Amino acid sequence: MKLTIIGTGYVGLVTGTCFAEVGHEVVCVDRDEAKVKLLKAGGMPIYEPQLEELVKKNVSAGRLSFTASTAEGVEKSEVIFIAVPTPPLDDGSVDLSFIETVARDIAGAMTSYKIIVDKSTVPVKTGDKVAETIKRYCKAKVEFDVASNPEFLREGFAVDDLMKPDRIVVGVRSQRPVAALKEIYKPFDAPIIVTDISSAELIKHAANSFLALKISYINAISIICEATGANVQEVANGMGMDARIGRRFLDASLGFGGSCFPKDLSAFIKISEQLGYDFGLLREVQRINRAQMDRFVKKILDTLWVLKDKKIGVLGLAFKQNTDDIRLSPAMELCQRLQKEGAILRVHDPKAMEKAKAVLHDVTYVDDMNAVADGCDALVVATEWPAFKKLDLERARKSLTHPIMFDGRNLFDPKEMEAMGFIYKSIGR
């Protein structure tokens, strides 16, 4: 099928590329002409495992192309996916201006029947607003359908998540677009849930908020573990073997971050408030998440006492492994808080250092993870990159002025670290 994706961020670029990979002809649209130029030249604006290779493969095969013209994208395809940013506003609600602008642009370019699909994470009832906008601004007065198709992609695993989804959710206002949407997803061999648009929109916010709740729950359990001498990883393993609970998202850490969970949680609280319900449970999830960082910083302060002019090595800047995304990254927040205390930082991340340089200043960026500890008073693990598990611990111990490690991701075994001579502080153990 001929498809258009408007927006080439993490969701749009991955979605368009994977659609092309299964045989669809895809046009990816972005108003940022510099980004379009970069993609046409074979460059990548983001890091995501497997993505660069798949983009090059499908561009070469003629199934994937890029343009800065929305009109071109609308003309070439019957089904148009909206995958533009929906950033948070100061009050926790969502900025839908990008969605509104794209809806108007699509309406102005339409000359025949189109299916417009919201892929972006949006508040419930956004589909109705998109439909109203298109109807209002479509000069040709042609028929169209609006649908909701929320994404469930994890950054760092987005290609695998899209190619092998747990489920595909499609929300529609009528049955007319269902056959086409099912045809698009036929190669992905996953259950397709067809529902009304409001339910589809709510599924995404409800799912992300529940996952955030799981993370905050295990972080709260980690506090109890530290107070009793229990091991939060063993507790999580015992809980996770219960099929009703599952092990995923039960890893104690610095807390959740990134562009999805914090934003979607705030948005869902605000949506609920506007509908007359105070979602206090989710407010507590937010509070626990904020407190988790406070507790970790306190561990560092309690151990090192004064941070002014102390040199601290930090492993990790991205908000999670396998991505270069630093938006609302706990690792970045930790670096900034350490700097406020007067610490001097040496930092390393396998993929996120270039993006971090635009935000995190007056630090030393180190290309070799094994050199981060050189001359430092302590070493901090802030992101769960698998490579960090292969850190040369003996070199780190000798390189540090004092063998102190703060592990915000529980990558190492406490007994082994203590046997090597480290003063080792992790979470919930």
Q: How far apart (Å, rounded) are the C-alpha atoms in residues 331 and 348?
A: 11
**Residue owning tokens 């109807």:** 135
In contact, 314 and 240? CB cutoff 8 Å? no
Measuring CA to CA, how many Å separate 427 from each of 71, 76, 77, 94, 315? 52, 53, 51, 33, 16
Q: How many CA atoms lie within 13 A of 170 on its CB side?
A: 25
Taking Cα atoms as reference points, which of 186, 360, 219 lies closest to residue 286? 219
Q: Is 225 an annotated catalytic residue?
A: no
In contact, 28 and 81? CB cutoff 8 Å? no
Q: In degrees rounded to 5, what are phi and psi of residue 52?
A: -60, -45
In contact, 11 and 153? CB cutoff 8 Å? yes
Taking Cα atoms as reference points, which of 81, 103, 85 lies closest to residue 17? 81
Both tokens assigned to 142: 């042609």
Catalytic residue among 138, 260, 335, 376: 260
Plot region of 362 (φ>0 → left; ψ -120 to 50 → alpha; else → beta): left
Q: Amino acid identity of 37?
A: K
Q: How far apart (Å, rounded) are the C-alpha atoms in residues 321 and 315?
A: 11
Q: In degrees rounded to 5, what are phi and psi of residue 88?
A: -80, 150
The C-alpha angle 121, 125, 128, rounded to 5 degrees, equals 110
Taking Cα atoms as reference points, which of 237, 263, 261 lies closest to residue 251? 237
- Give the CA-trace dihedral at 29, 94, 196, 136, to 10 degrees: -60
Using CB atoms within 10 Å of the CB of residue 339, give its burial: 0 to 12 exposed, 13 to 18 middle, 19+ buried. middle
Both tokens assigned to 241: 């073997």
Both tokens assigned to 403: 């063998």
Both tokens assigned to 145: 């359908």
Annotated active-site positions, please?
260
